[in-house]
Amino acid sequence: MQIIDSAPKITTYFSHKNDMKISESKNMTTIVSMTDEKNKGNKSIVSDLLSSLILKAVARKEKTLLFLNKKRESGQFYCKTCRFHEFMPDAPQICPNCQSHDFFFNSLNIWSLAKTVKQLVPNANVNLIAEGLRYPTSDIRRPAIDIATASVFYKLIAYKYDLVAHILADTTLNIADFSALEKTFAQITNLKNLTKENGRFILQTYAQDHPVIKAAAQGNFQAYYAQSLSARKSLLYPPYALLVKLSIKGKSPEIIEKKAEKLIEDFSHFPLSTFHFPLSILGPYQPIFKTKVPTYNIILKHKLASYSISEKEKAIKNLSPYLEKISRDWQITVEPGSIN
């Protein structure tokens, strides 16, 4: 049996590449540098090229999808002096990198994007697709522009669009996580799959020269796979290690931080040389994404000789002295998809 997938997980392809076939999309893809857009004075999150294509699509009564996986309020910061780019909860007084006052700050989420699009094409029907929102959100009899989060990937019936745009690919690329490249490639590939064969796909980014952005735009899975595998091998992430994530949550950040530090102290009573297996411990640390309940994580990283089931079972057995030290208020996740 052959498995057909356009963006399999790194560990899945590593284990089953002889049984997998990578499917490719053949639509036209254009990378737009948002750095160039800002430098020429375009303060909008919508590039000049995308603006013109949206207007043409509406005039032709074609279907458009604008993807932005941000439902909550936050802002996009860009410094014209040092080209520092980051997402921030509020606008700073100066650039945190070079202290310049010459910067752009735009509130960025699906709601602010919808407002920008309505200003561009007032007669268009703008639908918001996100978890918790009823679809559609406006008059379905007018030319349609869908603005969506990742919820669009989970619709029961996938709809193909004439024009698809990833508003900002950097939202996943810049995450401090071993799965960041994987999520970026999958997200871009999934959007290309929602584009009609003769349609147009626009990829807006501040990292137009990043090898994964280029590989995703070209549909070059093998180049992306080689890049990701090399990075994971050097940093010892799956498939070269088994990860176990320990998480503790509580109302008081101070209390759970002390509990996390106490667990690390307990672990230190086991000299690594005693067990004769390669282990590293990361943390404790707070997730980079804000959570409703304060959380601290610890990562146990066990190097693997191979990514076989038997080797992973052996690693879990080796870790049992550490896992036995963990109280019931901790959550244990073996092979987490993210360290956050």
Window from 30-34, 154-158, 199-203 with minimum mean pLDDT: 154-158
Question: 181, 201, 234: which is the final residue of a domain?
Answer: 234
Question: 180, 211, 234: which is the final residue of a domain?
Answer: 234
Q: Which residue segment(s) compose the domain that 53 sits in? A: 3-72+109-234
Whether residues 150 and 207 fall in one domain = yes
Whether residues 267 and 292 fall in one domain = yes
Query: With bands split at pLDDT 50, 70 and 90, how would you rate the model's confidence at 173?
Result: confident
Whether residues 131 and 62 fall in one domain = yes
pLDDT of res. 141: 55
Whether residues 138 and 283 fall in one domain = no
**pLDDT of 4-37, one tens digit each?**
888 999 999 999 999 999 987 778 899 999 999 9
* Total domain count, the chain: 2
| pTM as predicted | 0.84
Residue 93 lies in a domain: no
Residue 271 lies in a domain: yes
**pLDDT of 72-98, one tens digit each?**
656 667 788 888 877 676 778 888 898
Place of tokens 């640390």: 285
Query: Which CATH number fits the domain that encloses residue 269?
Result: 3.30.70.600
Which of 53-67, 70-84, 132-146, 280-294 ranks highest by mean pLDDT?
Answer: 53-67
Query: With bands split at pLDDT 50, 70 and 90, how would you rate the model's confidence at 137?
Result: low
How far, in Å, CA of 294 to CA of 296, rounded? 7
pLDDT at 340 over 70: yes
Question: 209, 234, 259: which is the final residue of a domain?
Answer: 234
Whether residues 251 and 328 fall in one domain = yes
Query: Which CATH number fits the domain that encloses residue 54?
Result: 3.40.50.300
Whether residues 303 and 205 fall in one domain = no
Instruction: Name residue 296's amino acid.
Output: Y
Residue 82 lies in a domain: no
pLDDT at 180 over 80: yes
How far, in Å, CA of 151 to CA of 137, rounded? 15
Place of tokens 């559609």: 136
Whether residues 66 and 212 fall in one domain = yes
pLDDT of res. 257: 95
Encoding tokens for residue 85?
């780019």
**pLDDT of 261-307, one tens digit each?**
999 998 887 765 555 678 899 999 998 876 788 999 999 999 999 99
Residue 200 lies in a domain: yes
Residue 94 lies in a domain: no
Query: With bands split at pLDDT 50, 70 and 90, how would you rate the model's confidence at 42?
Result: very high
Encoding tokens for residue 111?
């709601």
Q: What share of the chain is helix, strand, coil (3-state, %, to 5)?
A: 35, 25, 40
Residue 182 lies in a domain: yes
Question: Per this entry, what is the length of the chain?
Answer: 340
Whether residues 176 and 324 fall in one domain = no
Query: With bands split at pLDDT 50, 70 and 90, how would you rate the model's confidence at 326?
Result: very high
Residue 81 lies in a domain: no
Residue 195 lies in a domain: yes
Whether residues 230 and 247 fall in one domain = no
Query: With bands split at pLDDT 50, 70 and 90, how would you rate the model's confidence at 70?
Result: confident
